[in-house]
Amino acid sequence: MLKLAVIGAGSWGTALAYRLAKNNYRIGLWVHNPNLAKIIDQTHENPSYLPKVSLPANIQASSSLDKVLSDSQYCILVVPCQFLRGVAESLVPCLAPKTSILTASKGIENTTLLRPTQILSDVIPKNLGCQTAVLSGPTFAKEVAAGLPSAAVVASEHLDTAKKFQKLLTAPGFRLYVNTDVIGTEIGGALKNVIAIAAGVSDGLGFGLNARAALITRGLAEITRLGLSLGANPLTFQGLSGLGDLVLTCTGDLSRNRRVGLKLGKGNYTLTEIQQGMQMVAEGVPTARAAKELAAKQKIPMPITEQVYSLLFEGKNPRSAVQELMGRELTSE
């Protein structure tokens, strides 16, 4: 059996390990918490992040990167973007030459404004000959693990690498597409979380479906503007990693970022209280900071993102943020 390494045992990492194991691969699943690794190995369940899903016996969980990566030519990184650099640095000594690496992280690194594949390029020595790809799209972990119909995209500058992961990941109920627009795929996956916070705020304020639809549409416009300034293909933002992921994250009740916005809009919680009550990371929070800086660097107007930043980090009143967005100077679409 072919062995694949999945680095990260949150809900999405565990769901991907589950789907891959169902394809009859041996899966080494790296778990940051040694105690959780033992529980997963002994009970074949991840009670912390994907409870009530029975994991196949061909998933072996471990807190040892060396053990997980041993004998594997494929590595899938599923860790929060702000921790990706540290984890990548730790796994470099364990990587075999020419390992194919797929990142499923969505975000922009705050300290460098780099995308996930750029972080990997920064960390992994060129002489190892590793090629990278990114997985993105409208995929809630719980639904993928349940085998409900889902679709996503694998992007890589090397189309052969994208097609390798497409073949590995495709399963009944899980359809994969490929493209070579890494920039657009990563920007769409990162920025949709910021817009989802805005949509949650709007829903929390009780502003209705018109407001939500407007936020999704204008949010896509600013995501596209930023992506194009960085060299992305405009068609990418009409696809699964753009419009598809944006719609899901802005409307789905399983969206962590939408839930953050809902609580902010209702005004019952501070951001600190919201984050303390969440077991998993809402990537839109740190991404809002990085996106605001990146937009300023690229001289791209992103009014929704700027208001989300002010809500999260400057204590702005949600109603004031909406009033400012609605009162902006009139312009063409």
Residue 280: what pLDDT? 79
- The catalytic residue among 106, 192, 263, 292 is 192
pLDDT in tens, 254-281: 999 999 999 999 987 889 888 888 877 7
pLDDT in tens, 207-231: 999 999 999 999 999 999 999 999 9
CATH assignment of 3-180, among 3.40.50.720, 2.60.40.1220, 2.30.130.10, 3.30.1180.20: 3.40.50.720
Residue 185: what pLDDT? 98
Residue 264: what pLDDT? 94
Residue 11: what pLDDT? 96
- Regions of the chain where pLDDT drops below 50: none
192 included as an active-site residue: yes
Residue 281: what pLDDT? 79
Topology alike, domains 3-180 and 193-326: no
Domain ranges of the chain: 3-180, 193-326
HEC readout, the chain: CCEEEEECCCHHHHHHHHHHHHCCCEEEEECCCHHHHHHHHHHCCECCCECCCCCCCCEEEECCHHHHHCCCCEEEECCCHHHHHHHHHHHHHHCCCCCEEEECCCCCCCCCCCCHHHHHHHHCCHHHCCEEEEEECCCCHHHHHCCCCEEEEEECCCHHHHHHHHHHHCECCEEEEEECCHHHHHHHHHHHHHHHHHHHHHHHCCCHHHHHHHHHHHHHHHHHHHHHHCCCCHHHHHCHHHHHHHHHHHHCCCCHHHHHHHHHHHCCCCHHHHHHCCCCCCCHHHHHHHHHHHHHHHCCCCHHHHHHHHHHHCCCCHHHHHHHHHCCCCCCC
CATH assignment of 193-326, among 1.10.1040.10, 1.10.390.10, 3.90.1300.10, 1.10.1200.10: 1.10.1040.10
Residue 147: what pLDDT? 95
